[in-house]
Structure 1
């Protein structure tokens, strides 16, 4: 064992409600019924944060938040004043880095005219638009509540309000999609001049409507052709791929997601939210009660916690590699021991095997996949399973 060194610290805030549950979504999200109190949930979030801060007081003492991420669900269902109240409450409890990144996920169908300027005033400095496609037929098939025109209008409104740092989420390999359609979505996104694009393949996740009733999806070869062609177009447009599904202009990588992928720490508040904290005596994962009502009813006591357990030494190497190898540039080899508490010898045998197979670069300074390793990433990370 080596000494654990606390990594950067982030905060994840989960807003669990959506206008409608999408058939492909396996996140902890619930269709709104109109009777939820956003004010009460805001109070619950801050009470939850108070509880975590008390429990992890020694581990987080003196550490500033480098990023805050509002995810969901659909955080843009919450009025800017409530997002501001949450951010003010966080700032009153924890120090924020001078350049803290604060991201709000938004559904283009839930943001009214004028709201973006108010989100900016509240402290949000980065937006993530869940567009998924600019093809209206595909959007209907995905169960989205917005049209392509509404997505473009929302993004243009955000830009006029002062946001220049925003992400567009796009999916490919959609039901009955072809290569031309996948590239057309990328072109529509590029025309809106985002700073960041998340481009990921639609997959059938367990316990979703699509898993129970699978739509006709492109086969693996067609999906791979879409991925390669879209990667090339994004690169041509100046978007560097830095993670399996993430592309950014210079200086606009998602700091919050990078913290996940480099085995950083994150407090997590909200129904079903998952966090990870490094302390002197080990690494802990904590998650919250999933259902919003049960979570809120337990706001002031331990029942809000759905689970809390240490990350065993035997699992840390795999968890680190599972995240780090998603990064195209990999991570410094020197980060492994301080972030896992393990000696490099813990992963030397599988690392050497991956190098011999041509999946990892034989680099004394970085953990980084080859091009083949990136294509076979699941096989590479499986080598590090204990």
Structure 2
């Protein structure tokens, strides 16, 4: 292992004290060398506090960025779901489909100590199925326990990518790149929790109308693989130097990258709801530690290029916090064994992550 950053000038052991006619010459020449070395070091720019730590390892580059990356996802969704409960209060089976507008806003430090901001509009389609069982009303207290298992398939599409860098010296650049990306994820998980609900009938001309409220605490453990294909495309960059001189350049990213990953995340959450007749208002919040390992291969699509495929192995630990607010409408009476619901809402999410990678 060598070339570790930050790098410091190596100082060898002090030479033995010499005497004799050559002592003055050796001391003088050694002093000249030291003066030259100090002069070279004095002209090296100081290492930015935001620069990642790098090292050459077995012919590749190991890289670690201790300063975290912040990401925000102001998400909105629409869901349709169906559930079958053959025995009231017994096991149930459900399926759902969700369309989500899932833009990503990311903030991270630049290697010069500035700020990098990016925005990527994304769309997500999700389909899931689950099995649930539990005791919904223990000794008529209104409290119950539940447990279940779920399978979920995600399909994501994003393009284009917008980003901007602001450096401490006043330099600024803005980029807009096409870079269409398609990714899929398959997650399997188990969960369990405690819930409570109260409901009272509402007298009036509508039979079976009730008003109620409830809440619960849930713990889930989920994991699964992900796959991504990212295709380079045309882009444009506007740059402003520290002296104030603007430039506009065009570029074409002639690369394709393919990534495979695995993500594991336990999630702790709380939820509450209020319902009146067929309408239910839900809210919730959760905390999710995350850990993702990934292998990415990048190819050049330029036939004249001599670029060999680049392999990157990375590990990304982090933690996410999320909230949700939704309005759900039941299309069938609640007492029926089959339920069909429609829901719209927002479930914003924020993450803090660090990253270590090895590229060869």
Report the TM-score, using the length of structure 1 for normalisation: 0.21
> Which structure has more RCO (C-alpha within 8 Å, separation ≥ 6)?
1
Choose between structure 1 and 2: higher helix proportion. Answer: 1
Specify the structure having the higher radius of gyration (Cα).
2
Choose between structure 1 and 2: higher strand proportion. Answer: 2
Report the TM-score, using the length of structure 2 for normalisation: 0.22
